[in-house]
Chain A
Amino acid sequence: MMQKRMMMKKKIKWTFKKELLICFIVLSVIPLIISNCFLIGIFQTAITQKEQKRAGGQLEAMEALLLEKFEAFDLAAERICGNQQVKEGITAENRWEQNRVYNLLYQETEGLREYADFRICDAGGVTRYATGSGTYDVTMPDYWGILKQAGTNIDQLVLRDAVGYQIADGLSMQAARAIYNEEDECIGYLVLDVTEEHFDTLCAGSVEEGTGFCLLDSFFEEIYSTKGAKTGGIAGTLRERLLSGEAPDREADSVYYEVRAVGDTGLYLAIGRTMVFTEEILAQMLFILVIMTGISLLLCLVVAQILSSRLSEPVRMLSEAMRLAQNGNLDVRLHAKRKDELGILTGNFNQMAGKLKRYMELQVRQQKEINDANIAMMQAQLNPHFLYNTLDTMKWIAKANHVDELAVLASGLATIFRTSISEEKWITLSEELRLVEGYVEIQRIRFHDRFELDIEVPLELEDCLIPKLVVQPIVENAVIHGLAECEHGHIFINIYEKGRVMYIEVSDDGCGMDEEMIGLLNGRNKEKLRGHLGFRNVDTILRLYYGEQYGLSVENQQTGGTKVVLKLPHEAPGMDD
């Protein structure tokens, strides 16, 4: 029982808590997670896009810069290659002609020499004029490399990666244009040597410091790389991946590549854009998210616990109080401190319990009053007081006149009346038995000694107090109904005690009762016992005094006749009201 109640309590609490917890989680943790996830996503996208845009912008700026310089190179080359004095001076041996060509070369390359060294070679690839240092004695094969390319692309400044042809230190790129005479014979070449240093100069000031970009030829081989790109190995990685057919970008690198073609030069610009939003940062943000979720979950748990106990405690107390009230304790009251719905409910319970108690008390009092009235009324029926004195007088008159039978009659009747008119409600068993004997004497005279009475009572029971006049009506009933037709009837009263219960058996050997009557008597259907007032009264008296388990029962004896048993508690003598 106790355990069950505990379980019940637990279950109530848990159900409450569970529902509250789910509500809290739905309302707090999930929006937190969703909004955080979106925030991370948006943050990531925004940063990536911004970075992409920045890189794109840088590439665009770089492309514009390169194209501008190439355009300037192209124009200068066109002017130099078309100049008559240059054409005539390529193979000149005298100093004056050479100076004229040099003057022109320097004049035309004004402002460009910091981005490239200019050389004029003859048709055999032998350098004749050079603005740079260290390249005066260079001979380039005209059947190979850039010069061959320039020779086959008439009137065009061709660009070429200088890889594998290091005629000068740090040479990155070469450009060349063939020079033709009037007969359309190739008489020489204008060659531009662009070194790493030149590129550095070109980029200085126009490219953000630390930007890792590189210039690639059409086979994605590196022409020039800024320092950042070199350490990152952008060019090599990019080419390798393109060759193996892989996507250039790889998550694990945390570098994204942006590539842009430089006009129609066949060159490409590539930039290695480091991922600002790395896996690491993502992991960190997710970690924070997890922590926040954890804290919020914990908070939910705590609040759910507090709220559920706040809600379930009064409910539990209420249910406990109701159980007590059910078991009859109507004094139970609850302290209602709260002003909310639960407080009102508790107040209502208190009121209800109070009203129930008052109602119950009223009921008990009324019942008691009714019982007392009934007993008084029943006893009053047998109380004609003056008859006793009359009978006593009659007895003495009969004695004086020697009418013995009348004396006996009057004496018996007097005994009966004395007992019945006395104020005592309780008499001893022996007094009651004397009354019965008196009654039987009278009846024996009346019925000409047609029956006899035997009484067997243990001595220790004789002083037991019983309600008066409970045995006489039974005997009367036996005499009047049971032995009415008999010539030699016999009434036997047997009294004994068993298990603190006193049994008073009144048996006769008369005609017995029909089963219907016995059923009615044992059923105690009082409305139908109108004609048997004696039985009814005795039964009622016993029950009212002693309770429902005591009373009167009737049965037919197998030898014939009826046996009526009175069952009453064997109480100590002197029991009071």
Chain B
Amino acid sequence: MEKRGRYTGSLLLLFLLFAMTAVASHSPQPGEAGGQQYAPDEEQILIVYTAHKKEIYEPVIKEFEERTGIWVQVVDGGTNEILGRIAKEDGMDSGDVMFGGGVDNLSAYNDYFETYECRQSEVLRSDYYDPDGKWISFSSLPIVFIYNNKLVYSAGVPTSWEELLDGNWKGKISCAAPDTSGSSCTALLTMIQVLEGEGLTQDEVITSFVDNLDGNIAPDSVRVLEEVASGTRMIGITNEESARKQMQKGADLSMVYPVEGTSALPDGTAIIKNCPHRENAELFMEFTVSEETQRFLVEQCNRRSVRTDITQEAIPNEIHYDLERAAESRSEMLEKWAALTGT
């Protein structure tokens, strides 16, 4: 009886097992029509980390795809966010290319980039060329003043950095916080660089400027344009591209290049350390500074080319933006800003 009981038990178990397998085997298999056969080969992939806006990276990357047949996987985000990610990944399972971000920011992360000698270096602007070969510049963005045509009489337009500090525009200036907006940070550093030549110290410049903002700080550069276009503020500090775009959209704005000089800090492109698709990354680097891409930038995207052979109107009063000096005073300036604004 005992033996038979065990036999029956195992038979029962076998039946159950069989039944369960029957159910399991009938669960639908992943369909072959799922499109897996269209997946790209590994050598046909490029992973691009970008801090550019969609309207910049999308056409460039799409054109790159169409021309090379390479599938580009895009990871976008803010400059610091992306650079932080690259540092965290530290060459492990990371992307291929860092596309965008001010070159001053990129320089701070030189350790995480591969050295690359650009094949078109002789036609690129030498002042925005990294001698270490860690990054190449892509486009430059001059800092400009904007004003609302309806509110500001053209004769009384502010034309210099100095004018912003003389108290006449107190509470009427729109400027983004430099710790969140890259262009605002560059603008402040440019102002400091320019006004130091006039005999003012960094602290004096910032203290005076913050005083003239009268507590009105825009959260980002987009808000600056909106505030000026809507008349909330009369003048604003922003970059040329954003200003032009807003004007093309029909905003009643005008643009002024400060007379003491303005900087045109370029953004750059770099190959990430230990990138999985090095060959494609190099192709992409060359593509970003190719004549056609640079022409497209100038003609369609309101950007400044970093090539010397592209015809574009010169930036009025452009000064040489001292990268090293900026890198040094940057954190000091931000600390001061935070202390003054209480953020």
Interface positions of A (Cβ within 8 A of B):
15, 18, 22, 25-26, 30, 33-34, 36-38, 40-42, 44-45, 48, 52, 56, 141, 143-145, 148-149, 160-161, 163-165, 219-221, 238, 240, 242-243, 245, 247-249, 256-261, 268, 270, 275, 277, 282, 286
Evaluate contact between B45 and A44: CB separation under 8 angstroms. no
Q: Does B63 contact A (CB under 8 A)?
A: yes
Q: Interface digits, B292-306 against A, CB 8 Å rule (1 contact, 0 not)?
A: 100110011000000
Q: How far is the CB of B279 from chain A (nearest CB, A)?
A: 17
Evaluate contact between B23 and A242: CB separation under 8 angstroms. no
Evaluate contact between A243 and B35: CB separation under 8 angstroms. no
6 A-B pairs with CB atoms under 8 Å apart are A34-B22, A164-B61, A240-B73, A243-B40, A257-B31, A268-B38
Evaluate contact between B33 and A41: CB separation under 8 angstroms. no
- Taking CB atoms, residues of chain A closer than 8 Å to B62 are 161, 163-165, 221
- Taking CB atoms, residues of chain A closer than 8 Å to B300 are 141, 144
Q: How far is the CB of A228 from chain B (nearest CB, A)?
A: 18
Q: Does B20 contact A (CB under 8 A)?
A: yes
Q: Interface digits, B245-266 against A, CB 8 Å rule (1 contact, 0 not)?
A: 0000000000000000000000
The 9 closest A-B pairs by CB, nearest first: A41-B26, A259-B35, A164-B58, A164-B59, A249-B30, A37-B19, A248-B34, A242-B39, A48-B28
Write the chain A residue with the least CB distance to B25.
A41
Q: How far is the CA of A161 from the CA of B65 in the complex (A)?
A: 11
Q: How far is the CA of A143 from the CA of B36 in the complex (A)?
A: 34
Q: Does B16 contact A (CB under 8 A)?
A: yes
Evaluate contact between B1 and A259: CB separation under 8 angstroms. no
Q: Does B71 contact A (CB under 8 A)?
A: yes
Evaluate contact between A259 and B292: CB separation under 8 angstroms. no
Q: A44-B27, A144-B63 are in contact. Are A37 and B33 (CB under 8 A)?
A: no
Determine which of A18, A145, A219 lies in contact with B71 in the assembled complex, contact meaning CB atoms within 8 Å.
A219
Q: Does B327 contact A (CB under 8 A)?
A: no
Evaluate contact between A257 and B22: CB separation under 8 angstroms. no
Q: How far is the CA of A242 from the CA of B35 in the complex (A)?
A: 8
Evaluate contact between B12 and A258: CB separation under 8 angstroms. no
Evaluate contact between A30 and B15: CB separation under 8 angstroms. yes
- Taking CB atoms, residues of chain A closer than 8 Å to B31 are 52, 249, 256-258
- Taking CB atoms, residues of chain B closer than 8 Å to A219 are 65, 71-72
Further pairs besides A41-B22, A257-B33, A282-B27: 6, Cβ < 8 Å? A41-B25, A52-B33, A164-B59, A220-B71, A242-B40, A259-B35
- Taking CB atoms, residues of chain A closer than 8 Å to B15 are 30, 33-34
* Contact-size category for B: 35 or more
Q: How far is the CA of A144 from the CA of B45 in the complex (A)?
A: 22
Q: Does B18 contact A (CB under 8 A)?
A: yes
Q: How far is the CA of A282 from the CA of B23 in the complex (A)?
A: 10
Evaluate contact between B39 and A165: CB separation under 8 angstroms. no
Q: How far is the CA of A489 from the CA of B84 in the complex (A)?
A: 142
- Taking CB atoms, residues of chain A closer than 8 Å to B73 are 240, 243
Q: How far is the CB of B272 from chain A (nearest CB, A)?
A: 17
- Taking CB atoms, residues of chain B closer than 8 Å to A286 are 23
Evaluate contact between A40 and B26: CB separation under 8 angstroms. yes
Write the chain A residue with the least CB distance to B47.
A243
Interface positions of B (Cβ within 8 A of A):
1, 5, 8, 11-12, 15-16, 18-20, 22-23, 25-28, 30-31, 33-36, 38-40, 42, 45, 55, 58-63, 65-66, 71-73, 292, 295-296, 299-300
Evaluate contact between B23 and A145: CB separation under 8 angstroms. no
Q: How far is the CA of A40 from the CA of B5 in the complex (A)?
A: 30
Q: How far is the CB of A49 from chain B (nearest CB, A)?
A: 8
Determine which of B11, B20, B26, B55 lies in contact with A44 in the assembled complex, contact meaning CB atoms within 8 Å.
B26
Q: How far is the CA of A52 from the CA of B35 in the complex (A)?
A: 14
Write the chain B residue with the least CB distance to A166.
B55
Most A CB contacts (10 A, CB to CB) among B33, B45, B61 go to B33
Determine which of B23, B36, B45, B66 lies in contact with A37 in the assembled complex, contact meaning CB atoms within 8 Å.
B23
- Taking CB atoms, residues of chain B closer than 8 Å to A268 are 35, 38
How many residue pairs at the A-B interface have CB separations less than 8 Å?
131
Q: How far is the CA of A277 from the CA of B26 in the complex (A)?
A: 11
Q: How far is the CA of A307 from the CA of B39 in the complex (A)?
A: 65
Q: How far is the CA of A282 from the CA of B27 in the complex (A)?
A: 9
Q: A141-B300, A143-B295, A242-B38 are in contact. Are A247 and B30 (CB under 8 A)?
A: yes
Evaluate contact between B22 and A37: CB separation under 8 angstroms. yes
Q: How far is the CB of A247 from chain B (nearest CB, A)?
A: 5
- Taking CB atoms, residues of chain B closer than 8 Å to A15 are 1
Determine which of B5, B11, B19, B30 lies in contact with A18 in the assembled complex, contact meaning CB atoms within 8 Å.
B5
Q: How far is the CA of A45 from the CA of B22 in the complex (A)?
A: 12
- Taking CB atoms, residues of chain A closer than 8 Å to B35 are 220, 238, 242, 248, 257-259, 268, 270
Q: How far is the CA of A163 from the CA of B60 in the complex (A)?
A: 10
Write the chain B residue with the least CB distance to A257.
B34
Evaluate contact between A56 and B33: CB separation under 8 angstroms. yes
- Taking CB atoms, residues of chain A closer than 8 Å to B30 are 247-249, 256
Q: How far is the CB of A358 from chain B (nearest CB, A)?
A: 41
- Taking CB atoms, residues of chain A closer than 8 Å to B33 are 52, 56, 257-260
- Taking CB atoms, residues of chain A closer than 8 Å to B16 are 30, 33
Determine which of B23, B27, B66 lies in contact with A149 in the assembled complex, contact meaning CB atoms within 8 Å.
B66
Q: How far is the CB of B100 from chain A (nearest CB, A)?
A: 15
Evaluate contact between A163 and B58: CB separation under 8 angstroms. yes
Determine which of A48, A163, A240, A249 lies in contact with B34 in the assembled complex, contact meaning CB atoms within 8 Å.
A249
Evaluate contact between A160 and B23: CB separation under 8 angstroms. no
Q: How far is the CB of B303 from chain A (nearest CB, A)?
A: 14
Q: How far is the CB of A346 from chain B (nearest CB, A)?
A: 26
Q: How far is the CA of A339 from the CA of B22 in the complex (A)?
A: 47
- Taking CB atoms, residues of chain B closer than 8 Å to A260 are 33
Q: How far is the CA of A507 from the CA of B40 in the complex (A)?
A: 131
- Taking CB atoms, residues of chain B closer than 8 Å to A34 are 15, 18-19, 22
Write the chain A residue with the least CB distance to B72.
A219
Q: How far is the CA of A143 from the CA of B291 in the complex (A)?
A: 10
Q: A164-B61, A220-B38, A259-B33 are in contact. Are A41 and B23 (CB under 8 A)?
A: yes
Most B CB contacts (10 A, CB to CB) among A52, A219, A275, A286 go to A219
Q: How far is the CA of A282 from the CA of B295 in the complex (A)?
A: 59
Q: How far is the CA of A240 from the CA of B62 in the complex (A)?
A: 16
Write the chain A residue with the least CB distance to B1.
A15
Evaluate contact between A259 and B26: CB separation under 8 angstroms. no
- Taking CB atoms, residues of chain B closer than 8 Å to A257 are 31, 33-35
Write the chain B residue with the least CB distance to A34.
B19
- Taking CB atoms, residues of chain B closer than 8 Å to A48 are 28
Q: How far is the CA of A48 from the CA of B59 in the complex (A)?
A: 40
Q: How far is the CB of A237 from chain B (nearest CB, A)?
A: 11
- Taking CB atoms, residues of chain B closer than 8 Å to A25 are 12
Q: A37-B23, A260-B33 are in contact. Are A243 and B66 (CB under 8 A)?
A: no
Determine which of A36, A37, A42, A45 lies in contact with B28 in the assembled complex, contact meaning CB atoms within 8 Å.
A45
Write the chain B residue with the least CB distance to A36.
B19
Evaluate contact between B71 and A248: CB separation under 8 angstroms. no
- Taking CB atoms, residues of chain B closer than 8 Å to A258 are 31, 33-35
Determine which of B1, B38, B61, B296 lies in contact with A144 in the assembled complex, contact meaning CB atoms within 8 Å.
B296
Write the chain A residue with the least CB distance to B19.
A37
Q: How far is the CA of A165 from the CA of B25 in the complex (A)?
A: 48
Determine which of A143, A275, A282 lies in contact with B292 in the assembled complex, contact meaning CB atoms within 8 Å.
A143
- Taking CB atoms, residues of chain B closer than 8 Å to A36 are 19
Q: How far is the CB of A47 from chain B (nearest CB, A)?
A: 9
Evaluate contact between B71 and A243: CB separation under 8 angstroms. yes
Q: How far is the CA of A41 from the CA of B19 in the complex (A)?
A: 10
- Taking CB atoms, residues of chain A closer than 8 Å to B58 are 163-164
Write the chain B residue with the least CB distance to A18.
B5
Evaluate contact between A30 and B12: CB separation under 8 angstroms. yes
Q: How far is the CA of A256 from the CA of B35 in the complex (A)?
A: 10
